[in-house]
Amino acid sequence: MATSEITDDLPPEFAGRVSAATLKDGRALIVFDAAGLGEAERAAIERDITARLSARSDVNDVRVVMTAERKAPTLIAIGSGKGGVGKSTLTANLAIALARQGIRTGLVDADVYGPSQQVIFDAEDAKPDARDNRMIPVETKFGVRMLSMGQLVAPGRAIAWRGPMVGNALAQMIDAHWDAEDVILIDLPPGTGDVQLTMVQKYKPAGAILVSTPQDLALIDAARAGQFFDAAAVPVIGLVENMAGYACPHCGEVSDPFGKGGVEAAAQRLELPFLGRIPLDLAIRQGSDAGEPPAAGDSAQAEPFLSIAGKLAAWISARS
């Protein structure tokens, strides 16, 4: 919908400060230049815009982005030494859990060769718009804006890029219009390759979380990833143990196909915080595949993600 059709509902004095206005699938986004305005005035304007646009029959959600006098969002990298340890699932649910705690959270799917966040967030058909040669992150129904290579290429298409092209893709996603976010989680590809090198050189994150299964081989690779961040002077916020214990849905007996407690022991050995463990739960996998991450609900599966998000939020608050 054209900008003028939305801004017609706003006071005339706002016209010079609205730099962008879009309405798509019932979601209205207003970008407002708040330079020179105090916190109380900014809050009043945001409430006014939200009330006016919410009164429209074709609007069911309103996001007002104040672009001036805002700190740059805090970048948090989520990494692993190897693939298949559930890093993307953790990142998605952690982002949603942070948003539920009132932290404006964005997500960059930097796993260029194997993007999956567009599936987890049920945003496969969403394509980012652009303004001033910068992408506008895609809105999701979970209150988390995101960008993923999976939204930029045809579904199922293989990406065969060399290092410079991968670095350029990462730059476009991180340099996007993240005007509304306090925190951006970066879902890294496994290992310590081109994406990781570009990130620490150009967009040094405030900290990193490492994800591993309790399996010995996964822990060895996670330790290498930790060494990479240590060498880049990026503090490791802590370790998360994923796929820790499987409860049989029939008898309730808990088994440990990938071992137990290995990540917590590794955290103690490396003198790093242990942030928590996520069980090997079929409901988590099914929810993520169906675009309904469990952290968005109130089930037992949401609890470990909310707990880890609380620890991350405390870490971010302590450094600000």
pLDDT at residue 142, as a whole number: 95
Domain assignments of the chain as residue spans, ordered by start: 3-66, 74-319
pLDDT at residue 3, as a whole number: 45
Task: Kindly list the strands in the beta sheet with 27-32, ordered across the sheet, starting from the edge strand earlier in the chain.
Answer: 18-24, 27-32, 61-66
Residue 252, pLDDT > 70, answer no
Structure tokens at 31: 């970008």
pLDDT at residue 159, as a whole number: 67
Q: Angle, nearest 10°, between helix axes 87-100 and 303-319?
A: 70
Q: Work out the percent of the chain whose per-residue pLDDT is above 90.
A: 41
Collect all residues with Cβ–Cβ distance below 8 Å to 185 and sequence separation of at least 6: 76, 78, 91, 94, 95, 98, 105, 106, 107, 108
Residue 82 assigned to a binding site: yes
Q: Looking at residues 64-76, what average pLDDT do you find?
A: 81
Structure tokens at 320: 């600000």
Res. 139 pLDDT band, cuts 50 70 90: very high
Residue 97, pLDDT > 80, answer yes
Residue 86 assigned to a binding site: yes
pLDDT at residue 259, as a whole number: 66
Residue 84 assigned to a binding site: yes
Structure tokens at 313: 């939020």
Does residue 206 or residue 162 have the better pLDDT? 206
- Give CA–CA dist 125/59, Å, rounded: 20
Q: Angle, nearest 10°, between helix axes 194-202 and 163-174?
A: 50
Q: Looking at residues 138-143, what average pLDDT do you find?
A: 93
Res. 72 pLDDT band, cuts 50 70 90: confident
Residue 307 assigned to a binding site: no
Q: State which fold the 3-66 domain adopts.
A: Alpha-Beta Plaits (3.30.70)
pLDDT in tens, 1-37: 444 478 888 888 887 788 888 888 889 999 988 876 7
- Give CA–CA dist 124/87, Å, rounded: 19
> CATH 3.40.50.300: does it fit domain 74-319?
yes
Q: What is the pTM of this model?
A: 0.76
Residue 169, pLDDT > 50, answer yes
pLDDT at residue 2, as a whole number: 41
pLDDT at residue 180, as a whole number: 79
- What region does 195 belong to: left with phi over 0, alpha with psi -120 to 50, or beta? alpha
User: What secondary structure letter does DSSP report for 14?
Assistant: G
pLDDT-wise least confident of 11-20, 151-160, 204-213: 151-160
- Give CA–CA dist 22/14, Å, rounded: 15
Strand 207-212 relative to strand 236-242, pairing:
parallel
Residue 87 assigned to a binding site: yes
Q: Which residue has the tokens 């476009």?
A: 172
Residue 88 assigned to a binding site: yes
pLDDT in tens, 256-309: 767 677 888 888 888 899 999 998 888 888 998 899 999 999 998 999 999 999
Residue 239: what are its φ and ψ, rounded to 5°?
Answer: -115, 145
pLDDT at residue 69, as a whole number: 54
Structure tokens at 171: 């730059």
- Sign of the alpha-carbon torsion through 172, 173, 177, 179: negative
